[in-house]
Structure 1
Amino acid sequence: MGISKLTTDKVKERMDIEEIISDYVPLKKKGQNLWACCPFHGEKTPSFSVSPAKQIYKCFGCGKAGDPLQFVMDIEGIGFQEAIKHLAGKYGIEVEEDETRTPEQEQAQSERESLLIALGFARDFFVKNLQTEEGKSIGLSYFKERGFGPAIIEKFDLGYALNGWDHLLNAAKKAGFTEDILLKAGLILQKEGDPDRKYDRFRNRVTFTIHNISGKPIGFGARILTKDKNQPKYINSPETAVYHKSDVLYGMYQAKKAIRDQDNCYLVEGYTDVISLHLSGIENVVASSGTSLTDGQIKLIKRFTNQVTVLYDGDSAGIKASLRGIDLLLEGGLNVKAVVFPEGEDPDSYSRKVGSKAFQEYLNSQSQDFIGFKIGLYQDEIKRDPIRKAEVIREVVQSIGKIPDPIVRSVYAKEASGLLDIEEEIVHAELNKGLLKSQKDAYSKQNEQEESADTPFENFLPTQEQTSFSELLRLQEREMIRLLLNYGLEKLEGQDLQLSDYLLSETQELDFETPVYSRILKIYRERLARNEISGVDYFLSLDDAEVKQEVIDLISPRYEVSVHWEERHQIIINKEQDDLTLTGFKTILRLKRKFVKKMMEEAKQKIKNAETQQLDEKEIIELQEIYFALKKVQVEIDRELGIVIG
């Protein structure tokens, strides 16, 4: 069943864009709007704007825009109804089902939603298996041995996959799931050479549910408990439409609030490390699940904090092999610290060994910034070998060079010079050399991609095709619609007339060529004819995604004049709304000029065609008269606009 309109309306009335988006990225006020680094693409300078007054967001980098519901749909990768349920849960609104949906509508769920439902069924199936005789003796006993009680098992949806070929397959089919959906969800496999033979992917293993950021199961990790050399210790869900390993961190759903509250994220390697830290009272922890860190995972952490502390097992060889992860974190703009456990220990084993209080004290006392950590790893080598010391200096400087903030780079360069007992000027010289090389490499790569080394300068100038009359007309249509949306309800000075009345009357006989602007204009006219107000809120409530996107673009200025110019410095800045009569008049003139120019071009082309086809001279003369009449109109408009053409 679908969600009732009453529930949808309640959610829309309650939702607040600042409150919702600040759950994902930290917002800072600048002018009338709030700004952040965009959560949808990597950037170092904030270009993601949130307008609390208009309840919209707009990224001027990647172009993403919408209302609070659209943000939740985009950030969580879910559909409209899932977004409504998500926000209903956030605000404690009871979800009522819509009884009027037909069976056909029930079946018309997207594949993505079907996969999430199937994965949710598998999660429940694995959890319930812990209550079977086999599950109790194998799965539950393993978790108890680890110290995982009922509360932590429930918190992380831990489970058990029965020892058999098709336990999940048969249960899922009985519940109404198709083999196709189960295959796409990565829950079953197809035997090679036998398309009719399907079997469970996870068998005779304890299962760890992998959640998305909103808590939906999207995949599983499974650990074997027997010592079978022919089987890997862990197997994981494959890439699916809902599970992209490079964008997921295990435990982020359970950790996101604590990460924001503590302003720090502990990064570990495995599932049990995460769970053991929760048992020790440390909830701001996630795991890379044994894979190398990716840009997507780093961006996910950055949505909640700029501080990350990497926890390393007590194995120096393994630590040195995984140092690239620190460089990636630094490059992603995160402040990095590290903690190393005693030889032979990992976060899971050490937390169980010393207990919660001692474990927390260890993390606090042993945490050090990445410079001290990295230099400490090579301390013995540095003392014995001067050449190795030079190599370590270069490695440390390379890491510092990954930091995007120049002030932070400078602070770390100073610290490194002290720890390595080397002059700070040498560190800065080496750092500048590396930065210069990186810039040259980036520039060379850009040139290769553009393949424009021998391209004449003239080729970069706009061509007639690029600046066609249709494109120029589109831009002028856009400007007219922008004025209509932003100031249409404003009264013109000294007149009992709104700007919308003037703009609509002057464009009554013009047919807009750009489809989206034509639709907006048509809607505005129709509603005005019924004496209905067509404010921005109305357009943002429409189901037309293209119209909503365009409206947000038109009402979202990237820059705004600071109030301090007038308040502090008494410098008056003229704004377009100060004289809407003149602004509207010139906008209409420019729009009509574009239409006239286009008509002139069409008339000129017809004359050429008529001459080529040797048509009747009378027809050619008529076309010429039309052309010169249009030319006369253009000259009049140019005079009004103050355009002088030699």
Structure 2
Amino acid sequence: MRLDQETIERIKQAAQVADVIGDYVSLKKKGANLWACCPFHGEKSPSFSVSPAKGIYKCFGCGKAGDSVRFIMDIEGLGYGEALRHLAKKYNITIQESPLTDEQLQAQNARESLYIALNYAKNYYQNNLFQHEEGQSIGYPYFKERGFSDKTIKAFELGYSLDIWDAFTKDALKNGYSIDVLEKAGLTIRKPEENKMFDRFRNRVIFPIHNVSGKTIAFGARILRADKNQPKYLNSPETEVYHKSNILYGIYQAKNAIRSKDVCYLVEGYTDVISLYQAGIENVVASSGTSLTLEQIRLIARFTQNITVLYDGDPAGIKASLRGMDMILEEGLNVKLVVFPQGEDPDSYVQKIGSDAFVQYISDHSSDFITFKAELFLKEAGNDPFKRAELIKDMVGSISRIPDSIKRSVFFQKTASLMQIDEGLLITESNKLALEKVKQKEKDAQRDNNRQRLQSDLPSGITLSTSTNNLPSFDEGMMSFSEEDNFGYEEFGGAPATVLPTPEPSPLPQIANYATTLHEQECIRLLINHGTREVDPAVAPGITLMQYVLGEIDGLQFNTPIYQEMLMLCRQKFLEGTVADTQYFLSHPIAEIQSESINLVAEKHSVSEAWLSKHEIFVPTELDKLADMAYTNILRLKKSFNDDHLSSLMKQLAQTKDPQEQNTLLMQFMQAKEVEKQIAKELGTVVVR
């Protein structure tokens, strides 16, 4: 059901952009705006700006921009309507909607349908735990034995799947969910050849996995009886809404605590997270048994730059996990490590010693990665010089990944002291690694360029395999390639045996056309930012910038599609007796218009108030010179169109041989030249011949 405009406005007014985005990233005030590292691409210096006054965000790195609704759409991958419903739920805004019918469920966007089905499954499993006889006698006692309170069970929405082959599937089908959606959500397994379908999770306690906003996206399930034919833990498969490398268990429950404590505790299992949370240590997430990924590290980086990894006492597991530490360092985060006594893990240890002693243990036993590696491997190396040398190289390799030069210097000093070696040698080794890395990047780039050049020469419809080990064999008409030919390249890595001709570069746009686009952009920028303001109150009171500009460029059609569309919206609103103000464009439902509007409104830099308050230096703003800016822009815009007209006339003159047509074109050309002189005179530029 479509939401009415009044409800949409209520949602947008309640969903303040800084509040909404603050649930996903840690914002810091700088000037009039708030800043953070962008959640949409990896970066180490904040370029993601949030303007509470304008209700928008803008990343000056990747270009992502929008309002609070657009942010939810982008970060959660939701449609417009679903994003509004998400915000309505967050801010307790009631939406009157009829229950979804079977047809409506099937018509839902595929992604939204998965969320709906997964949420239904979560409620079903939780209801089993608390209401069903089997859940109360088997699943619920397991959680109580682990020491989980009802409040904790409900906070993590834990549940139980019945020991019946198709109990959930039958229930979901009865309530209108399609088997296709259930299968795509990873809830039901279907075997068409046997005409069978059954639940993925049976006779297991259920751990729902949530995304950052709290939506259920997958499940982890633990079996409660010994069965050699069954895995102890069973997880949802990858789906359109669940990619295990992108998510951390407990991130929804932990995000606010991580931000406020400014540190994230990273553990391995579900129960570790839940036990620590119940003990009041809420800033904890788990990698869910998978190796730490770059996406997971960047997810943590939205909320803090500090990670403390909590290991159990298993040396083999610790060594296997150290690769992830290098990835954390490379992302510019600060990482510390803690090992618990042999046989203990975070879950058992916090229940054994209590939350206060647990936090104190972390404080007393946390080590930076250099000290940790040294203590872990020095005993193994002993007095063996070769093993010590390998350890030093490994430590230098880790330090070299740190992007901050000061931090690198500090760790080189510490390593030199620990390993009793000259610091200069460590820096030299680091420089060698950096040079090798640069050479490898150049080699990879050369390989990619060679591949692209080769692909451009292949017949249409034939795609070069990405594999460099097993090159394709194919026959296309008269052209035949085989692995032996290797297309004249050595594994696409080194110099080609025969150099293919470099394709001619695409011609750059004509200067006149490019200038026209810039002036069109500036015209729309002025209209969006200042269209409702009086252009010159002293000379023409009551005349808005919108009225003035639209009158001056009446009849002009912009060449750039997006700016022509935005100009049409301005004209349409003006004919209706209103002015399309800044907010109209910033909240426009068409994503391209909204995004471009934010690009034209967002300010990367602002003048400090200290210029006037402390130094008594007045810096004029756009409002102080609005009339001059508008007048100059209109002149330049008309000059660009006139230049385009002149260029067109010259081409026509060169092509025609009809004397009468030549005379007509010459008259038009002379008129256009006269216009050019007049505009140049007004602009104070050199009058062309």
TM-score, with length taken from structure 1: 0.90
SS at match of 1:198: strand
**Partner of 2:536 in structure 1?**
492
**CA separation in 1, counterparts of 2:217 and 2:101?**
28
Q: Give the drift of 1:221.
A: 1.0
| Matched AA of 1:638 | A
Give matches, 1:389-428, under 5 Å: 389-428=388-427
- Say which of 475, 479, 490 aligns to 2:518: 475
| Matched AA of 1:560 | S
Check whether the contact 1:3–1:95 (CA below 8 A) recurs between aligned residues.
no
**Partner of 1:8 in structure 2?**
8
**Partner of 2:347 in structure 1?**
348
Q: Equivalent pairs: percent with the same residue?
A: 50
Q: Give the drift of 1:163.
A: 2.4
**Partner of 1:618 in structure 2?**
660
| Matched AA of 2:25 | V
Q: Give the drift of 1:624.
A: 3.8
For residues 98 and 471 of structure 1, do their structure 2 counterparts lie closer, same or farther at Cα, with a shift above 3 Å needed? farther
Check whether the contact 1:5–1:98 (CA below 8 A) recurs between aligned residues.
no
Q: Give the drift of 1:358.
A: 3.9
Q: Give the drift of 1:250.
A: 0.5
**Partner of 1:51 in structure 2?**
51
**Partner of 2:174 in structure 1?**
174
Check whether the contact 1:2–1:97 (CA below 8 A) recurs between aligned residues.
no
Q: Give the drift of 1:563.
A: 4.1
SS at match of 1:343: coil
Q: Give the drift of 1:244.
A: 1.7
What do the CA deviations read for 1:433-470 (whole angstroms, capped 9, x no partner)?
3334334433554455456999xxxx999964433654
RMSD of Structure 2 on Structure 1 (CA): 3.0
For residues 150 and 573 of structure 1, do their structure 2 counterparts lie closer, same or farther at Cα, with a shift above 3 Å needed? closer
**CA separation in 1, counterparts of 2:3 and 2:672?**
57
**Matching of residue 636 in structure 1 with residue 678 in structure 2:** yes
**Partner of 2:467 in structure 1?**
none
**CA separation in 2, counterparts of 1:198 and 1:287?**
32
| Matched AA of 2:409 | S
**CA separation in 2, counterparts of 1:211 and 1:198?**
26
Check whether the contact 1:314–1:340 (CA below 8 A) recurs between aligned residues.
yes
Give matches, 1:85-484, under 5 Å: 85-91=85-91, 93-98=92-97, 108-130=107-129, 131-191=131-191, 193-194=193-194, 196-446=195-445, 448-450=447-449, 464-467=507-510, 469-484=512-527
| Matched AA of 1:310 | V
- Say which of 568, 588, 593 aligns to 1:542: 588
Check whether the contact 1:250–1:288 (CA below 8 A) recurs between aligned residues.
yes
Give matches, 1:562-641, under 5 Å: 562-565=608-611, 568=614, 573=619, 576-611=622-657, 616-641=658-683
For residues 501 and 356 of structure 1, do their structure 2 counterparts lie closer, same or farther at Cα, with a shift above 3 Å needed? closer
What do the CA deviations read for 1:292-337 (whole angstroms, capped 9, x no partner)?
1111111111111111111112111221121001111111221101
| Matched AA of 2:590 | D
Larger deviation: 267-276 or 432-441? 432-441
**CA separation in 1, counterparts of 2:26 and 2:118?**
31
What do the CA deviations read for 1:558-606 (whole angstroms, capped 9, x no partner)?
2334444555556665655443333222212221122122223333444
Count of aligned pairs: 637
Check whether the contact 2:381–2:387 (CA below 8 A) recurs between aligned residues.
yes
**CA separation in 2, counterparts of 1:357 and 1:478?**
59
SS at match of 1:338: strand
Check whether the contact 2:88–2:95 (CA below 8 A) recurs between aligned residues.
no
**CA separation in 1, counterparts of 2:206 and 2:185?**
16
For residues 74 and 441 of structure 1, do their structure 2 counterparts lie closer, same or farther at Cα, with a shift above 3 Å needed? same
| Matched AA of 1:476 | H
Q: Give the drift of 1:236.
A: 1.2
**CA separation in 1, counterparts of 2:260 and 2:29?**
20
| Matched AA of 1:173 | L
**CA separation in 2, counterparts of 1:487 and 1:117?**
43
**Partner of 1:554 in structure 2?**
600
For residues 358 and 85 of structure 1, do their structure 2 counterparts lie closer, same or farther at Cα, with a shift above 3 Å needed? same
Check whether the contact 2:201–2:221 (CA below 8 A) recurs between aligned residues.
yes
- Say which of 548, 554, 562 aligns to 1:516: 562
What do the CA deviations read for 1:358-397 (whole angstroms, capped 9, x no partner)?
4333323222222211111012124331221121111111
Check whether the contact 2:106–2:178 (CA below 8 A) recurs between aligned residues.
no
What do the CA deviations read for 1:40-79 (whole angstroms, capped 9, x no partner)?
1111122111112211111111111111222233223333
**Partner of 2:25 in structure 1?**
25
For residues 338 and 500 of structure 1, do their structure 2 counterparts lie closer, same or farther at Cα, with a shift above 3 Å needed? same
